Chains A and B, each alone.
Chain A
Amino acid sequence: MMAQIQQEKDRLNLAPKKFNMWIFLFTSFMFFMALTSGFIVYVGGSKTHELTIKLPQIFMYSTGAIILSSLTMFLASREAKHLQFAKQRLFLWLTIFLGIAFFVLQVFAWKALIDMHQHLVNPNASISFVYVISGAHLLHILAGLLLIINTLVKSYKNTPQVLNLYNMEMSSIFWHFIDIIWIYLYVFLLLNQR
């Protein structure tokens, strides 16, 4: 009996689950480090392997959108802590909107690349890297959006505040992380432009 109750308590012990998210960030971080290190090794191989194009301007706008979304995410967290649930939902909606905007802008950036005749299939794989790196990041954005939608849907239902805060925290840890990762990736690519 005691074990049963204790186990229920363990199930509700959310700290280890939050910790899981932090460790997951490490795996994700290593994945992007591998891609960017691969880029460095590839570019270092020969002069013809350098990233000779100018990255489309649209990446600048998408970066703006995702930075803004981090801000709205932060505000949503703050309102959740202050029990302002209507405002929390509003900011979550804004974050989702900005996240989708980021997604769309990234796709437009690919289109801009294609218009520059810089295709994914390219004898200079450093350009293929731009596609793969931003594509892999977009998959993370998709996952992040799903997390935020989950938080939002549950906030409309009768969720206990502890769980609401937990959902909020899980999704914002991940969202801020992929925001920072994108800034890292973008700056990395900008610095490698020749």
Chain B
Amino acid sequence: MSTLAVHDHHDGVEHHDHDHGHHHKETFISKYIFSMDHKMIAKQFLITGIIMAVIAMILSILFRIQLAYPDKAFPFLETILGRFAPGGRLDANFYLSLVTIHGTIMVFFVLTAGLSGTFSNLLIPFQLGARDMASPFMNMLSYWMFFTASVIMLASFFVQKGPAGGGWTIYPPLSALPKAMPGSAEGMTLWLISMVLFVASQLMGGINYVSTVLNMRTKGMDLWKMPLTIWAFFLTAILGILAFPVLVAGVVLLVFDRSFGTSFYLSEIVVQGQVMNYEGGSPILFQHLFWFLGHPEVYIVIMPAMGIASEVMSVNSRKPIFGYHAMVYSLIGITVLSFIVWGHHMFVTGMNPFLGGVFMITTLIIAVPSAVKTFNWLATLWRGNIRFTPGMLFAIGLVSFFISGGITGIFLGNAALDINLHDTYFVVAHFHLVMGSAAIFGMLAGVYHWFPKMFGRMMDEKLGYLHFWLTFIGAYLVFFPMHFMGLDGVPRRYYAFTEIESLKQWLSVNTFITWAAIMSALAQVAFLFNFFYSIFFGKKATQNPWNSTTLEWTTPVERIHGNWPGEIPTVYRWPYDYSKPGAEEDFIPQTTPYSQTMTSNLPHDFEDNPTGLTQYNEWLKTQKVQEEVK
């Protein structure tokens, strides 16, 4: 009652005043830095993610230069890298660090935190009709832990021996023996600290996402009326909640081995002629713990991108998503299966062949839900009224990469083939296409599509097209040749494999890939300019620029605190009523009741609503009578 009374009182006085400034004072710090608003936190995640992505991209260009020109000296490298590139040639240990940190940043900081952090935070409250997250404070903490983790990870470039160098999978014994190589010294310690903070951040975020989806949906928004984006974020958060603690357990044991001298992972070992004090440990144990996280992690990376692509493709095809329920069930299938396939990363660890067979079967089963999703996307495009917005192009790009990278997954999932292909460039090609490029394209699709929602302005389309085509072609030129290198047995992570007599002929391909990589890296300049320029000077966006049905486009362009100025709208229908026959427009927002769209209603719209069905049938009868009269 009091709510109503206060509302009435203010209604007369300040009707159009959405400014809450005088209520809870928003200082610069509480608005832009320690913000508890989900929209601001989303932007913080996005911009941090973009910065981390640019850094990781520069790292990749550095090691690509080494691979293309192993004998050449580049004086500018010494200028920028100092002791890491003596005489203008990349130090071999630093090369390993570059590969490691590139992988870590891309997998965790960009495609986990940058992707889920941005779009889960932005879209879960928006598309479900909530004022904010279940716990805005935890949400803020989640971002700042992520930020701290990023700073620590980058700080490892400034320690004496350089950043961690054992690969992003940090297998012991290499990572567990600080003396084993420079990349296992302080840099590895910082890596471990950074990752523990990162996991804490992801868990806080994930707990919030799940709780918000389950508890804070608006009236009428049952689970089967949620857009596929929300389904994807929800299941991704569940994956993270179940998988990340296992990584922490593995890392805790590794820390004990590194710093306290236990032998969880370390067995009898000699380092630089010195017998170490370890006995009886099992390095394979780490691989089990790591990949129990590590495999779900790749789905944590790709599933939000899939959700975004589904939404963007449906909106821009002006068609309902093909097989909504099948899409949800295949996401659930992927979620469940992802926990029982980790062994396929360990086929060459001397695993019992029978166990390998089991992991092979579970792995190949994942092809089923993945294919269901792919065919559904293609069927959504089929005969659609396609608008090729930049977001749409990137979403289609995701499908392309997911197909061409997914096919090689079927090769690698076979234990017998994997023994040949393990740790070759074939693997590099596979995962860079299927989870790297695909997830990045999903993320970019999301950025182009929801930019108007985040900043109230539009991004430039022409630059978007330039960005898309250069990146799309560039990514294929970079990763496609790597399949052939891998089939020829070129090992990954090698500093100068072209010095090996039998692999010499790959030098020309390496040079080609490096130039393609430089081209795609330069293409990102178009994006960066477009992004930051449009924040301030882009064309002003309208409230619903893509004619979309979902709830986020019912909020005002100004992005106010609490999202909706008045009551939160009620939801009446599923989110994919595009081009419904008989409707006035080619989209019907979720907030439009069926009573207002009599001409386009269909009997199956009233499946669980018998009163609605009777009314619909009565309405049909009156229509018939009228026609007869005519």
A46 beta carbon closer than 8 Å to chain B: yes
Q: Mark A18-31, 1 if CB is under 8 A from B, else 0.
A: 01100110111011
> CB distance B132 to A10 under 8 Å?
yes
Interface string of B455-497 (1 = CB under 8 A from A): 0000000000000000000000000000000000000000000
**Most central of B6, B134, B261 by chain A CB within 10 Å:** B134
Residues of A whose CB lies within 8 Å of any CB of B are 1-7, 9-10, 15-17, 19-20, 23-24, 26-28, 30-31, 33-35, 37-38, 41-42, 45-46, 48-49, 120-125, 128-129, 132, 136
Contacts known (A31-B249, A38-B285); A6 close to B263, Cβ less than 8 A: no
User: In the bound complex, do residue B256 and residue A30 qualify as a contact, i.e. CB atoms below 8 Å apart?
Assistant: no
Given known contacts A34-B250, A45-B282, A27 and B562 CB-to-CB distance under 8 angstroms: no
Residues of B bordering A, CB below 8 Å: 3, 6-7, 10-11, 14, 17-18, 20, 23, 130-132, 134-135, 138, 203, 206-208, 210-212, 214-216, 241-246, 248-250, 252-253, 256, 260-264, 278-282, 284-285, 288-289, 292, 560-568
By DSSP majority rule, is chain A's interface helix, strand, loop, or mixed? helix
**Contact in complex: A23, B245 (CB < 8 Å):** no
Tell whether, in the assembled complex, residue B241 and residue A23 are in contact, meaning their CB atoms are under 8 Å apart.
yes
Q: Which listed residue, A1, A34, A121, touches B262 by the CB 8 Å rule?
A: A121
Are B260's CB and A3's CB within 8 A?
A: no
Q: Within the complex, what minimum Cβ distance (angstroms) separates B293 from chain A? A: 9
Nearest opposing residue in chain A for B563, CB measure: A3
A191 to B206, CA, bound (A): 34
Query: What's the least CB distance linking A141 to chain B, in Å?
Result: 17
Q: A5 touching B7 by the CB < 8 A rule?
A: yes
Q: CB-nearest residue of chain B relative to A30?
A: B245
B248 contacts across to A, CB distance below 8 A: 31, 34
Other-chain residue from A15, A46, A136 in contact with B215 (beta carbon distance below 8 A) = A15
Supposing A16-B134, A128-B256 touch, asked if A38 and B288 sit within 8 A by C-beta, the answer is yes
* Complex Cα–Cα for A119 and B279 (A): 14
Whether B211 pairs with A1 at a CB distance below 8 angstroms is no
Contact across chains for B560 and A3 when beta carbons are under 8 A apart: yes
Instruction: Report chain A residues within 8 Å CB of B211.
Output: 16-17, 19-20, 23
A to B CB contacts below 8 Å, 26 in the list: A1-B6, A1-B10, A2-B567, A4-B561, A7-B132, A7-B561, A10-B130, A10-B132, A17-B134, A19-B215, A20-B134, A20-B207, A23-B207, A28-B245, A30-B246, A31-B249, A38-B288, A41-B282, A41-B288, A120-B256, A121-B260, A121-B262, A122-B263, A125-B281, A132-B252, A132-B262
Contacts of A35 in B (CB 8 A): 249, 253
Q: What residue in chain B is nearest A128 (Cβ atoms)?
A: B262
Cα–Cα distance between A41 and B282 once the two chains are bound (Å) = 9
Given the known interface contacts A7-B131, A38-B285, the answer about A132 and B564 at a Cβ–Cβ threshold of 8 Å is no
Smallest distance from the beta carbon of B412 to chain A beta carbons, Å? Answer: 24
Of the listed residues A2, A45, A132, the one surrounded by the most CB atoms of chain B closer than 10 A to its CB is A2
Beyond the given A10-B132, A20-B207, A28-B245, please list 5 additional residue pairs across the A-B interface where CB-CB is below 8 A.
A6-B562, A7-B562, A20-B134, A45-B284, A121-B263
Given contacts A7-B131, A17-B134, A17-B135, contact A124 B280 (CB under 8 A): yes
- Considering the chains assembled together, what is the distance between the CA atoms of A15 and B215 in angstroms? 8
CA distance A61 to B565 in the complex (A): 59
**B565 with A123: CB separation less than 8 A:** no
Docked Cα-Cα span, A27 to B288, in Å, equals 18
Determine how close the nearest CB of chain A comes to the CB of B288; give it in whole angstroms.
6
Q: Which residues of A contact B250 (CB under 8 A)?
A: 34, 38
Contact A125 B280 (CB under 8 A): yes
Decide: A122 and B245 in contact? CB cutoff 8 A: no
**A1 and B11 in contact, given A31-B246, A128-B256 (Cβ under 8 angstroms):** yes
- Beta-carbon nearest neighbor of B248 in chain A: A31
Please report the C-alpha to C-alpha distance between residue A37 and residue B208 in the assembled complex, in whole angstroms: 27
Contacts of B20 in A (CB 8 A): 4
Which 6 A-B residue pairs are closest in the complex by CB-CB distance? A3-B562, A123-B279, A34-B249, A16-B134, A31-B245, A34-B246
Residues of B within 8 A of A28 (CB): 245
- Once the chains bind, are A16 and B263 in contact (CB under 8 Å)? no
Known contacts A34-B250, A123-B279: does B568 contact A16 (CB below 8 Å)?
no
Q: Which residues of A contact B282 (CB under 8 A)?
A: 41-42, 45
Q: B280 touching A5 by the CB < 8 A rule?
A: no
B23 engages A4 (CB within 8 Å): yes
- Which A residues are CB-close (under 8 A) to B10? 1
Contacts of A24 in B (CB 8 A): 203, 207
- In Å, the complex CA distance between A24 and B563 comes to 27
A132 to B17, CA, bound (A): 57
| Residues of B close to A16: CB separation below 8 A | 134-135, 211-212, 215-216
Flag if B264 contacts A125 (CB, 8 Å): yes
**Nearest CB to that of A17 among chain B residues?**
B135
Q: How far is the CA of A17 from the CA of B282 in the complex (A)?
A: 41
Query: In the complex, what's the smallest C-beta–C-beta distance from B343 to chain A, in angstroms?
Result: 12
Least CB distance, B493 to chain A, in whole angstroms: 26
Shortest C-beta distance, A39 to chain B (Å), equals 9
CB-based contact A38/B138 at 8 Å: no
Known: A1-B7, A1-B11. A27 touches B203 (CB 8 A): yes
Chain B residue numbers with a CB within 8 Å of A26 are 241-242
Given contacts A7-B561, A17-B134, A132-B253, contact A34 B210 (CB under 8 A): no
Chain B residue nearest in CB terms to A33: B246
Of chain B, the residue at the smallest CB distance from A29 is B245
| Contact between A23 and B568, CB atoms less than 8 A apart | no
Q: How far is the CA of A86 from the CA of B320 in the complex (A)?
A: 61
Q: How far is the CB of A137 from chain B (nearest CB, A)?
A: 12
Provide the bound-state CA to CA distance between A164 and B493, in Å. Answer: 57
Q: Indicate whether A132 sits within 8 Å of B562 (C-beta atoms), given known contacts A16-B215, A19-B215, A41-B288.
A: no
Chain B residues, Cβ within 8 Å of A33 = 246
Task: Please indicate the chain A residues that have their CB under 8 angstroms from the CB of B256 in the complex.
Answer: 120, 128, 132
Q: Nearest residue in B to A48 (C-beta to C-beta)? A: B280
Q: A5 touches which one: B6, B18, B263, B561 (CB < 8 A)? A: B6
Q: Which chain A positions have C-beta within 8 A of B566?
A: 2-3
- Closest B residue, CB atoms, query A45: B282
Residue contact A34 to B289, C-beta cutoff 8 Å: yes
Bound state CA distance, A128 and B560, in angstroms?
A: 54
B134, B252, B262, B561: the one within 8 Å of A122 (CB):
B262
Bound-complex Cα distance A31 to B203 (A): 12
Q: A31-B248, A121-B261, A124-B280 are in contact. Are A23 and B7 (CB under 8 A)?
A: no
Tell me which residues across on chain B come within 8 A of A31, comparing CB atoms: 245-246, 248-249
B138 touches A20 (CB 8 A): yes
A103 nearest CB across to chain B (Å) = 19
Contact A41 B565 (CB under 8 A): no
Q: How far is the CB of A61 from chain B (nearest CB, A)?
A: 27
Bound: A48/B279 CA distance, A: 11
| Complex CA distance for A175 and B134, rounded to whole angstroms | 22
Q: Report yes or no: A128 in contact with B7, Cβ–Cβ below 8 A.
A: no
Given the known inter-chain contacts A4-B20, A6-B131, please indicate yes or no for A123 contacting B280, CB distance below 8 A. yes
Q: Are A19 and B252 in contact (CB under 8 A)?
A: no
